[in-house]
Amino acid sequence: MRAIAIVAGGVFRDSVRERIAYGLVFFALVLMAASFLLAQLTAGQDVKIIKDLGLAASSVIGLFIAVFFGIGLVTKEVDRRSIYALLAKPVTRSQFIVGKYLGLAVTLVVNVAVMTAALYVVLAYFEWTTPGGAKEAWEAPALDPALIKAFALIAVELLVITAVALFLSTFSSPFLSVALTVAVYIIGHFGDDLKHLDNIVESKTLATIARGVYYVMPNLERLDVKSAVVHAVPVTGAHMLFSALSASLYVALLLTASTLVFARRDLK
């Protein structure tokens, strides 16, 4: 456990000096530009659009970090040979995999937390500058606590995608890993469509295959409550809990598979 924590700390320290900065600067720029422009252009929709934009930007930037840096966790170490020194220390390959994953997971969670805070700061500004009458047109209050639920599930989704990226990178090339991870992300957002494909197509074989894919792929649609939160549709605690638990199980399975694949891999 100690080795895992140290490896994770190393990943966090390494990444926090480089990776997170790009994501946050980009996010802050998008958010600020949107705030000032949209405040001028829209009447009554400004807060809703800022929420939409803030959540979407957080999700996209997080996805970028999860895919590219999730794949880099193993491939960069192997390609640059920094893994040689690490695995010659008292660290097992499974500790390496889990530590690397947790390090990036912490980075992502911190990233999402900072973006959450940034969005609340912008929303607080709007709350403060908007006259009382104009606020009545808002579907939900600017400083809606439910936004935290959306951000929490964005973080959970990013943790799943990171695990997918890490797993794929243990046996395939970086380019293929990126392509497959993005494919998993897209398919994961069409889970229900895949499950009920028999309503649309006549081919039973195709419907069976689609249903099989549905059961193998993570159901990322469940983790997407951005629209619901913006439109003040309640997101229950049970939904949050079930989504987090099923995602945790999926991550655990992927990490187990990653360690099994990586355990006997020759590091040429």
Site string for other proteins, 104-133 (x = CB under 8 A): ------------------------------
Tell me the DSSP string of 101-131.
HHHHHHHHHHHHHHHHHHHHHHHHHHHHHS-
Q: How many residues bind other proteins (CB under 8 A)?
A: 27
Question: Residue 198, interface with other proteins (CB under 8 A)?
Answer: no
**Nearest-approach distance from CB 219 to other proteins, in angstroms:** 35
Q: Give the separation between CA 143 and CA 252, rounded to whole angstroms.
A: 34
User: Which listed range, 22-30, 52-60, 244-252, 260-268, lies at the site for other proteins (CB under 8 A)?
Assistant: 260-268
Judge whether 253 and 161 are in contact, CB under 8 Å: no
**Nearest-approach distance from CB 64 to other proteins, in angstroms:** 19
Question: Residue 136, interface with other proteins (CB under 8 A)?
Answer: no
**Furthest-apart CA atoms within the chain: distance in Å:** 67
Question: Residue 260, interface with other proteins (CB under 8 A)?
Answer: no
Judge whether 233 and 146 are in contact, CB under 8 Å: no
Q: Give the separation between CA 257 and CA 101, rounded to whole angstroms.
A: 13
**Nearest-approach distance from CB 80 to other proteins, in angstroms:** 5
**Nearest-approach distance from CB 13 to other proteins, in angstroms:** 7
**Nearest-approach distance from CB 7 to other proteins, in angstroms:** 8
| Percent of the chain that is helix, strand, coil (3-state, to 5) | 80, 0, 20
Q: Hey, what amino acid is at 240?
A: M
Other Cβ atoms less than 10 A from the Cβ of 64: the count is: 15
Q: Which residues contact 209 (CB under 8 A, 6 or more apart)?
A: none
Question: Residue 6, interface with other proteins (CB under 8 A)?
Answer: yes
Site string for other proteins, 9-38 (x = CB under 8 A): xx--xxx-xx--------------------
Nearer to other proteins (CB atom), residue 51 or residue 100: 100
Nearer to other proteins (CB atom), residue 56 or residue 267: 267
**Nearest-approach distance from CB 75 to other proteins, in angstroms:** 14
Residues of span 62-101 touching other proteins by CB under 8 A: 80-92
**Nearest-approach distance from CB 4 to other proteins, in angstroms:** 11
Q: Give the separation between CA 44 and CA 138, rounded to whole angstroms.
A: 7
Judge whether 170 and 262 are in contact, CB under 8 Å: yes
Residues in contact with other proteins by the rule CB under 8 A: 2-3, 6, 9-10, 13-15, 17-18, 80-92, 264, 266-268
